[in-house]
Amino acid sequence: MPHILFCLDYYPPHIGGAEVLFRNLAEGLVRANWEVDVITQRVEGSVAEEVKNGVHIRRINTFGTRYLFPLLCLPALWKASKNADILHCTTFASTLPSWLVSNNRFLEEDMAPMPFKLPLVLTVHEVWVGKWKLFSDASWLTNTINNLIERFIYWFNYQNYIAVSHATERALVAIGKPADKITTIYNGIDYSHWKQDDEAREKLRRELGLQDSFLFFFSGRPGRSKGLPTLLKAFAEVAKEHPQARLLALLSNNKAVAKGYKEALQLVAELDLQEKVIIHEPVPYAELPHYVMCADTVVVPSLSEGFGFAAAEACALERPVIATDNASLPEVVSGKVLLVPPRDVAMLAEAMRKALRDEFTIVPRREFTNEENIAAHIRLYNSLLP
């Protein structure tokens, strides 16, 4: 039975698109008769060690900061690597310990160090080298440090880079990564989870008081990279002309994005949108399709997307989508679609007016199944095994 070891910044119950991706992948590998271990950070509400759906998960306490994970995970990662055939990590905090372990792991019972090359795979969600100051709301110093860390990550040697879209593949090539070591594997979506439920849609719209409204929907990190300030300014123009228009925004308010969240609330107040914009905390993954289904149009105004779960999941529910025409988003959207330039308030406002008139471009349906995602990973792993 082949044995894969994942070293990941986060894993469920932490909420995020990458977490869902790796949970589905890990559990899919178990069903395909792989042995799977995961080393990740421990978050509030999680246990230190468990076996869940066949996946052996060890969570490392990092005392609330991901920057300690590369050091604190090393003992557990080194021990787990003894029986692994492949080590798979992802950007960012998991790369350094994974590279160290893959190049020099303990194999003997007496724990004597022996050089041994363990095949190392890196999943790259987005490439922000040289762009941190454009995309991030963090301070100049933090952005400078993060840019250096990302450059440092790509200095290491990996047997293969997995790009989650062709846009990410092109970005890797642009920073000098060899094209023959890059494999594009689109993220998988569980279409049985993202299914239409008109009854749940109407019930939730009644609970939110939105029965007679035209609802735009946004979810993601508050701040510049996801384009929320641009969306709020564009919506302010549209709301003046269309009193029935509303915006529902599911926004995280955790420590890492507290600045962006505060600035979003301030902008809502400055634009006098308190009666038009509903700021809602993130909801459990099981409930998220109901909230997306509430939308008359989903808006994804991101400055950068490695894949674009928010857009792809909205399309899975056959919701009309307005998205920016950059990075991966043109690759993943389908159905009723409008594409606009990033950061362009006037063009986004005009697209929202078109949505109110139901004037969309029709793009043939695209699907990104978990089955194909898992099969593509297995093909790659098998190509790297001795």
- With pLDDT > 90 as the criterion, what percentage of the chain qualifies? 82
33: left (phi over 0), alpha (psi -120 to 50) or beta: left
Supply φ then ψ for residue 281, to 5 degrees.
Answer: -70, 155
Query: Comparing C-alpha atoms, which of 277, 237, 179, 251 is closest to residue 15?
Result: 251
Q: Is 243 exposed, middle or buried (0-12, 13-18, 19+ CB in 10 A)?
A: exposed
Overall average pLDDT of the 13-36 stretch: 94
Overall average pLDDT of the 280-289 stretch: 91
pLDDT band at 111 (very low <50, low <70, confident <90, very high): very low
One-letter amino acid for residue 255 of the chain: K
Overall average pLDDT of the 335-360 stretch: 98
pLDDT at 225 (0 to 100) = 92
Supply φ then ψ for residue 204, to 5 degrees.
Answer: -70, -40
Supply φ then ψ for residue 178, to 5 degrees.
Answer: -65, 130
pLDDT at 107 (0 to 100) = 46
Instruction: Give 189's DSSP letter.
Output: B
Least confident of 157-161, 269-273, 281-285: 281-285
DSSP string, 263-295: HHHHHHHHTT-TTTEEEE----TTTHHHHHHH-
pLDDT at 232 (0 to 100) = 98
- With pLDDT > 70 as the criterion, what percentage of the chain qualifies? 97
- Residue given tokens 């060899």 in the structure block: 178
Supply φ then ψ for residue 265, to 5 degrees.
Answer: -65, -40
First-residue to last-residue Cα distance in the chain: 14
Task: Please enumerate in sequence order all residues whose Cβ is within 8 A of that of 254, keeping only pairs 6 or more positions apart, or say none.
Answer: none
Task: Read off the pTM.
Answer: 0.92
Q: How far apart are CA 333 and CA 310, in angstroms?
A: 10
Could you report the per-residue pLDDT of 195-212, keeping only the tens digit for each?
Answer: 998 998 999 999 999 999
pLDDT at 204 (0 to 100) = 93
Overall average pLDDT of the 45-64 stretch: 95
Mean of the per-residue pLDDT values of the chain: 93
- Sign (positive/negative) of CA torsion 223, 224, 228, 234? positive
Q: How far apart are CA 39 and CA 248, in angstroms?
A: 35
* Count of positions (residues) in the chain: 386
Instruction: Give 172's DSSP letter.
Output: H
CB 125 within 8 A of CB 225: no
Instruction: Give 186's DSSP letter.
Output: P
- Sign (positive/negative) of CA torsion 8, 9, 12, 17? negative
Least confident of 13-17, 67-71, 207-211, 274-278: 13-17
Task: Flag whether pLDDT at 115 surpasses 60.
Answer: no
pLDDT at 47 (0 to 100) = 96
The secondary structure element, H or E, covering residue 144 is helix 140-153
Distance of CA 237 to the CA centre of its chain: 30
Strand order in the sheet with 297-300: 277-280, 245-251, 214-220, 297-300, 321-324, 335-340, 361-363
Task: Flag whether pLDDT at 186 surpasses 60.
Answer: yes
User: What domains sit in the chain, N to C, each tagged with a CATH number?
Assistant: 3-188+370-384 (3.40.50.2000), 198-363 (3.40.50.2000)
pLDDT at 256 (0 to 100) = 73
pLDDT at 284 (0 to 100) = 87
CA distances from 364 to 191, 318, 354, 356 (A): 17, 12, 20, 22
Query: Residue 104, SS3?
Result: strand
* Bond before 12 cis per omega within 30 degrees: no
Instruction: Locate the DSSP E strands across 187-274.
Output: 214-220, 245-251
